[in-house]
Structure 1
Amino acid sequence: MHSLLKSRFESKVFESLINEKNLLNLMCFAAYGIPRALLNMISSICIEDEDGEVSVNLTAKNTLKEIKNSHDSTYNIYDSLKIKLPMYRNFIDTGSNFYEQTLKIIKEFNKGSDVGKQSSIIAIKRPVSAELEKVIGFFQYAGLLSPNSISNRGGKGVYELYEIHYAAIIDRNIFFSSKAINSEKYVEAFSNRPNHHYPRHLEASLVPEDNLDQAFSLALPSCEVCKSPRVSDKAKFCMECGAKLQDASIFEDIVSQDIELLPITTARADSIKQSSKIRKIKDILMDYDNKELRKVNMIGPAWAKKIKSYAEEFIA
């Protein structure tokens, strides 16, 4: 990251950054390996005078402000999926609660630990439901969560490890549980992250069990006539054209049916069930990137797209 900045900025600017090395390195960690994120943060604290001379206002306050802006920008990518993938609106809202709960758990876990034992990882015990995997996939798409590794605890179970975006760690002050962020201690903690020290949790402690059906339900489709989005899941008629909207219970009944009802052979349906987690039509609709379908032998991009279209036609 230092080499990148040295090549992109004048030597005078780079020297000013290096003079505040802890603050600079905190920004480097907050960029989470994405050069553009770092460049955006640094550019925001650069000041150009009337003569075109550039200076840097690298203070602790400005550093934390830009890290927060960077995290908010990344989180907005996740939140925007409610518009891009309206059918998954409930999943994304549930994911927001999962994200906050995860940050809370890691912060509590780090409380009282020394600088060499501050964790940025959450371990989730298998099996992880297809619904939560979908939510985690959305966070991976946004860059807020990264799969780290698998931890096999023998008789205690197998855990999937996910690392939290470092900008979130800094913005929410996850390390040390102190009131103010000490940039030197944070940089040291990021530089000495432990390999086997992290909170281990069941899915039930990360996602509230009450009302799970609603939390992980597919949102009802838009108006079939004019394609306008619903203003509410309880709406009976379209606000734009007045057409009757699909009933919630009917929709749930349809998406909960077996994939054998789709226009595919019984052998192919059996093959999908044996090689993936797909059982119901809902599972195909949830497989928005066709990752599960592509696990099945003899199903490439074309067939995966075709089967997805069968599922979408089935609920139309």
Structure 2
Amino acid sequence: MTRFGYTLMTEQSGPRELVEYAQRAEAAGFDFEASSDHYFPWLESQGHSPYAWGVLAAVSQVTERVELMTYVTCPTTRYHPAVVAQKAATLQLLSDGRFTLGLGSGENLNEHVVGEGWPSVAVRQDMLEEAVRIIRELLTGEQTTFDGQWFRVDSARVWDAPDGGVPIGIAVSGDESVSRFAELADHMITTMPDADLIASWDRLHPGGSSRKIGQVPISWDPDKDTAIARAHDQFRWSGLGWDVNAELPMPAGFEAATESVRPEDVAETIACGPDLDALAESVKPFLEAGFTDIAFVQIGDEAQEQFLEEAAAPLLERVRELAGA
């Protein structure tokens, strides 16, 4: 059965608001909640970027049912993998086993802040693989020493390690990353509804099938023009593609790169407006590709309360009907 989630978009809301939205999203019927993990917003108009792990810790205490996850954390530059392991273990305990650690190779936008430079794609993938191995070992609760090419760990131990560890999802974008990470991950995370990529993952993943987790932006509003304007103002960066999104270092770069993008261009790729059937249709490519988990991103902080109050539950009814069909 396909599960549908709500995205805690740290780039567009403050920490207290995110915790409130998490409560409301659970009440509306979402199955899981995925938090972005940023240091900067994509665009200045989004205006926020609180610490995702603090938000998730608070969310774990005000929700009871929904699963939680990072979508996604980079464990190689801004965070050392030994620290990520400790954070993930703590959050798994706070949430009573509801947490999945989503990992990826990161974006310059968020990782440059520690002044260590921004490696090439090949190096980032090498670093991620090494980091995942360290995190897995530490989540066993055993004392760990590791001397790798990119990271060292000296007699570390996660003292509060949850029984069974923490499930790990890894973000992939093509056959090369699938080949590298299918055996290291419990679950697959990707942004494009690519059925071939999912088939490759299932062939290579130990034991066969696993969860495939994707994300779909929407811009619900009672007024379609308002919905389109909001999506253009705050989400036009998404059309650049991840090859670009991973490399630009500051929101000003995304402003410059998207200055020629028109509202009608955004409306062609993001479902906008009050028509819940049209919004639901935007998940069909992911359903057809074989995704098991799909998280909605409702664009714009100013729209969250009304979306969760008026539109979320009937939207979930529609997408579950689509998934069942």
Task: Please indicate the TM-score interval, normalised by the length of the shorter structure.
Answer: under 0.3
Name the TM-score, length of structure 1 as normaliser: 0.22
Name the TM-score, length of structure 2 as normaliser: 0.21
Larger Rg: 1
The answer to which structure has the higher helix fraction is 1
